[in-house]
Amino acid sequence: MCKSSWVKFGAAAVAGLLAAGVLVTAPPAAAGPTVCDVPACVPGIQPGVVLGSYCENTTYYVFGVTDWGRLVFCGSPRRYEPRWFRSPEMRGIKDENTTCQNYEYEVAQAPDGLFLTCVSVSGQSLWRRGDI
């Protein structure tokens, strides 16, 4: 094979490997902070929410803010359709099943967007799923 054929073959091989995902480039960047203590650093908060109006997702990225700045969350009381409610105190981004001493009944969001509530169980306060 001549030199130009090897160059073409090598370029085609690299292009094929890249298309197949075999050659790895840099890992994707993180979606946002993994821990923060205030609502201002929480990603995915929906602006322009109308308190009491219908909403869709009660599990992930459930927080919103009204036009006048009130933090709200999408919840479904009993068997009713989900609506926007006033949010308890929000503690930013926290990891599920980690301690939340002194934050009982307050809320947070996990790094993946999961809705969390601080719940005391068996004398231990932990960040648990807020949608169940």
54 falls within a domain: yes
Q: What pLDDT, on the 0 to 100 scale, is given for residue 26?
A: 36
How confident is residue 78, by pLDDT bands cut at 50, 70 and 90? confident
35 falls within a domain: yes
Residues of the domain holding 86: 29-129
56 falls within a domain: yes
Q: What is the mean pLDDT of residues 94-118?
A: 96
Residues 38-65 as b/e (b if ≥16 CB within 10 A, e otherwise) read ebeebeebeeebeeeeebeebeebbbbb
11 falls within a domain: no
Report the percentage of the chain scoring pLDDT > 90. Answer: 65
24 falls within a domain: no
- Does position 11 have pLDDT exceeding 60, yes or no? no
The number of distinct structural domains making up the chain is: 1
How confident is residue 91, by pLDDT bands cut at 50, 70 and 90? very high
How confident is residue 69, by pLDDT bands cut at 50, 70 and 90? very high
- Does position 1 have pLDDT exceeding 80, yes or no? no
4 falls within a domain: no
Q: What is the mean pLDDT of residues 108-114?
A: 97
1 falls within a domain: no
Q: What pLDDT, on the 0 to 100 scale, is given for residue 132?
A: 81
Query: 39 phi and psi, to 5 degrees?
Result: -60, -25
Taking a C-beta distance cutoff of 8 angstroms, is the pair 117, 105 a contact?
Answer: yes
53 falls within a domain: yes
pLDDT mean across residues, the chain = 81
Tens of pLDDT, residues 18-30: 344 333 333 334 4
